[in-house]
Amino acid sequence: MSAIKCVGILTSGGDAPGMNAAVRAVTRAAIYNGLKVKAIYRGYKGLITDEIEEFKTQNVSNIIGRGGTILKTARCKEFMTPEGRMQAYETIKKHDIDALVCIGGDGSLTGARIFASEFNFPIVGLPGTIDNDLFGTDSTIGYDTALNTIMDAVDKIRDTATSHERLFFIEVMGRDAGFLALNGAIATGCEAAIIPEIATETDQLGELISQGFRKSKNSSIVLVAESPITGGAIAMAERVKNEYPQYDVRVTILGHIQRGGSPSAFDRILASRMGAAAIDALLDDQRNVMIGVENDQIVYVPFNKAIKNDKPINRELLNTLRILSI
């Protein structure tokens, strides 16, 4: 018999499409297994300010297709301090919460790892971020939807790029990771992707674009991952404009539109599987792990591994992009 009778659930960090599907899955799987569920609002902040409510199955009705998170979310500075975490622990005890399921990205799971080890408290994490930058899972919740949003936007920009015969630099999110930029570029037939994992020189890029224009192309689109390393789309466009003044260059920053919208079928299914697996993991005495899916199998990834920030870019994809952009 597991000692866990009551599970707290929260979403933290940047919202991601599919977080609601995960909240639904955790809630329903917990209740199915005879556990109580306490919903914590505004991420770790709600643990400090005591914004907690018991959830029944009907609290999560009709949310599987909704973007954002019904639990709200925050990036909580107080939780980074020992005093803040102590306050959070007091709230957890007050509400008789025996374990937590935390849904969020890199920063949120780092917070979970610290809290779990400080208070020897059981936590299971779910990877909820559009960035796909957590190690140990093929995909994070929200990544597929964001990729589709990018695809839609770039397809539309392609229409105007072709009509005006322009060179576009389009900036996508990803914090310090190039998964959205690289896969977005392949999905939309872009000429190149500028990602933080791979250094790209302006002359290399300029040559590639010139080659395209010399042949049959009358427009080009380059996806740029936001990042201090790439400098983002504005910096890249400036450099290319200076060296290749013959091009009519434009920049679009897609921004927070990438985090919104109804989750794709892929994300809804991923979130549902991962949410149910989080409860299985807790009942199975798993502690301080993130749920991942690798090769279609649920896996448990220790927090330290998941957040080490070294999920590799698949170099075969880079090569494919290069070959197909001639």
42 binds ligand F6P (CB under 6 A): no
149 binds ligand F6P (CB under 6 A): no
CA distance 323 to 326: 6
Cα angle 202-204-206, degrees, rounded to a multiple of 5: 65
Q: Which of residues 191-250 bind ligand F6P (CB under 6 A)?
A: 226
275 binds ligand F6P (CB under 6 A): no
Q: Contact region for ligand F6P (CB under 6 A) — 91-99, 168-176, 241-249, 263-271?
A: 168-176
Instruction: Give the 3-state secondary structure of residue 215.
Output: coil
130 binds ligand F6P (CB under 6 A): yes
CA distance 252 to 159: 14
Q: Which of residues 48-107 bind ligand F6P (CB under 6 A)?
A: 105
CA distance 208 to 258: 28
Q: Which is nearer to ligand F6P, 88 or 172 (CB)?
A: 172
The one among 131, 144, 191, 197 contacting ligand F6P by CB under 6 A: 131
Instruction: Give the 3-state secondary structure of residue 303.
Output: helix
The DSSP-derived string for 146-212 is: HHHHHHHHHHHHHHHHHHHT-EEEEEE--TT--HHHHHHHHHTT-SEEE-TTS---HHHHHHHHHHH
The one among 102, 126, 147, 173 contacting ligand F6P by CB under 6 A: 173
Q: Which is nearer to ligand F6P, 91 or 129 (CB)?
A: 129
Any catalytic annotation for residue 131?
A: yes
Radius of gyration for the chain, computed over Cα atoms and rounded to the nearest angstrom:
22
Q: Nearest distance from residue 35's CB to ligand F6P, in Å?
A: 30
Spot the catalytic one: 15, 106, 131, 144. 131
Q: Which is nearer to ligand F6P, 80 or 208 (CB)?
A: 80
Instruction: Give the 3-state secondary structure of residue 102.
Output: strand
Check: CB of residue 219 under 8 Å from CB of residue 188.
no
36 binds ligand F6P (CB under 6 A): no
Q: Nearest distance from residue 269's CB to ligand F6P, in Å?
A: 21
Catalytic residues: 131
Residues forming contacts to ligand F6P in the complex (CB under 6 A) are: 14, 105, 129-131, 173-175, 226, 259
